[in-house]
Structure 1
């Protein structure tokens, strides 16, 4: 139970958060359509209530104190949560149901979203909201009903349903293949290799799988997301190791080609994650059932 008497007026909090975010009273005044003196007065009132300074005044700028930095970060999280809650209620106000899903960015863009029209046709009353998360999180603190995760089949306080495994293959543009005469795996030694930043050992593992000596397996630019790396490869920057299922459109269009059939099988996989608190939620269970069917169909198609 929160203590209502400790909560400062919202106007004071918004004035402080805006000034903290901009590092400027004048820009906060512009954003909130107030005068600079009004913003300064509201921040001063907040500091009085809290009993500590939130800013150092340096000429025309305001610089957060240690206490101000902590408070601003906490306020921003709560304002974002309130904004998200308001959006959800507004969506519900129009009727229907809402599912908030956390997804991996490239998997969501390349694999899940192209399949979503089938779910939408089967469940026209449901609105699915997508947010990207690349790492496991606490469902108690994040406003999500479910998530799609790549890794091991474990998530504290949740169940994991297997979806798909990856087969990772080397790809590049046809022009780069022809320019360098890439016909054998050993030809890659001397070509720029593109790396996924969270999988720095992957090229070394791929070369080792074929017992190919490679002096430069760890060299080359690194990318945070597979989608960026795939586009770099399609543009001719180098050769990338990517999961085949995440570049099917680029392969079908001919912008990327698979250089060699030898694939690196990952020990990890994609999972649908459902928190224990949603174990009986009919909407989450309906999405889970549909997603598992799509994954099974996709896996069967890949084998065929």
Structure 2
């Protein structure tokens, strides 16, 4: 069996980081090296293998087919080694880390204001948040938990109900035209703000008993937080999920309009891979979330 020469291990580590970031400079920052040192390691590896691992161009680097193959193998090998090394450390020296994937709006407006209570109760737990728009696959070495807004059923995931929600019209207190709003139908004449949620203004007007209205969604945002900020700037009326409104209402940037709320079709759930139990640290975060919502409200 061919063995990897020990002098190539630093080169493999530099290559794996560069492949993951698709950027030599970012890899250098992660490894506390210079970009030229990372490039040297990669070229050494390419010379040893006799193949190009990256295509180099003016905008940066991209992996070749051979580079992608080696990146997959190197990433898995290094993750396995890290897992073994962590398991060998005395338990008192092991950092409890929980990797969480969720929406930016959930972290920014709902989770951050209450996160200090978790830190007080679990001072030794490290939390890593990922708010990428794409949903995590919860592969080994990736996220431990997710907080998702949806129907509560996802293939391969166990889901724990966290809280439901209500959709409510909100606007800046000084938004022009609000004085003319006396009924749900009056909102159709004002500029409306929407996000990419599957439940929106057309659903709300139907729920409020307004038929035949032609609401104009003047602004649409992929991120709910941006929709709230646009409403706070007086650009229009937003249909907001009540759970992420608290900081905007508390500081007066937005106010609830005296109009009907609409029960949200979807709720919030904590999810994790169904094939494995959460780690003690991850389970501690789940338990804290449920207890905090029960005690302080959603």
| Category of TM-score, reference length = shorter chain | 0.7 to 0.9
Could you say which residue in structure 1 is the equivalent of 2:262?
264
Structure 1 position 34 matched with structure 2 position 36: yes
Could you say which residue in structure 2 is the equivalent of 1:206?
204
Structure 1 position 223 matched with structure 2 position 225: no
2:174 aligned counterpart, secondary structure: helix
What is the RMSD computed on CA atoms of the aligned residues? Answer: 4.1
Whole-angstrom distance in 2 between the partners of 1:73 and 1:167: 48
Could you say which residue in structure 2 is the equivalent of 1:151?
150
Q: Relative to 1, partners in 2 of residues 1:3 and 1:194: Cα closer, same or farther, differing over 3 Å?
A: farther
Structure 2 counterparts to residues 91-102 of structure 1, below 5 A? 96-102=95-101
Could you say which residue in structure 1 is the equivalent of 2:290?
292
Is the contact between residue 47 and residue 53 of structure 1 (CA under 8 Å) also seen in structure 2?
no
Could you say which residue in structure 2 is the equivalent of 1:125?
124
Could you say which residue in structure 2 is the equivalent of 1:27?
none
1:34-90, Cα deviation, whole Å (9 max, x unpaired): 39xx95996497278354685477xxx488688369739957x949x97xx69x979
Q: Relative to 1, partners in 2 of residues 1:122 and 1:203: Cα closer, same or farther, differing over 3 Å?
A: same
TM-score (norm 2): 0.74
TM-score (norm 1): 0.72
Whole-angstrom distance in 2 between the partners of 1:196 and 1:99: 29
Structure 2 counterparts to residues 75-94 of structure 1, below 5 A? 78=75
Structure 2 counterparts to residues 141-290 of structure 1, below 5 A? 141=140, 143-176=142-175, 181-199=180-198, 202-212=200-210, 213-217=212-216, 219-276=217-274, 278-279=276-277, 281-290=279-288
Q: Relative to 1, partners in 2 of residues 1:133 and 1:298: Cα closer, same or farther, differing over 3 Å?
A: farther
Q: Relative to 1, partners in 2 of residues 1:124 and 1:15: Cα closer, same or farther, differing over 3 Å?
A: closer
Whole-angstrom distance in 2 between the partners of 1:115 and 1:177: 34
**Offset at residue 183 of structure 1 (A):** 2.7
Is the contact between residue 12 and residue 43 of structure 1 (CA under 8 Å) also seen in structure 2?
no
1:140 aligned counterpart, secondary structure: coil
Is the contact between residue 139 and residue 275 of structure 1 (CA under 8 Å) also seen in structure 2?
yes
Structure 1 gap ranges (5+): 24-30
Is the contact between residue 189 and residue 215 of structure 1 (CA under 8 Å) also seen in structure 2?
yes
**Offset at residue 196 of structure 1 (A):** 0.5
Structure 1 position 49 matched with structure 2 position 46: no
How many pairs are equivalent? 279
Is the contact between residue 278 and residue 284 of structure 1 (CA under 8 Å) also seen in structure 2?
no
Q: Relative to 1, partners in 2 of residues 1:15 and 1:96: Cα closer, same or farther, differing over 3 Å?
A: closer
Whole-angstrom distance in 1 between the partners of 2:12 and 2:70: 15
Is the contact between residue 100 and residue 146 of structure 2 (CA under 8 Å) also seen in structure 1?
yes
Could you say which residue in structure 2 is the equivalent of 1:28?
none
Is the contact between residue 12 and residue 46 of structure 1 (CA under 8 Å) also seen in structure 2?
no
**Offset at residue 173 of structure 1 (A):** 0.5
1:221 aligned counterpart, secondary structure: strand
Q: Relative to 1, partners in 2 of residues 1:66 and 1:254: Cα closer, same or farther, differing over 3 Å?
A: closer
Q: Relative to 1, partners in 2 of residues 1:156 and 1:190: Cα closer, same or farther, differing over 3 Å?
A: same
**Offset at residue 204 of structure 1 (A):** 0.5
**Offset at residue 232 of structure 1 (A):** 0.8
Q: Relative to 1, partners in 2 of residues 1:229 and 1:65: Cα closer, same or farther, differing over 3 Å?
A: closer
1:155 aligned counterpart, secondary structure: coil
**Offset at residue 206 of structure 1 (A):** 0.5
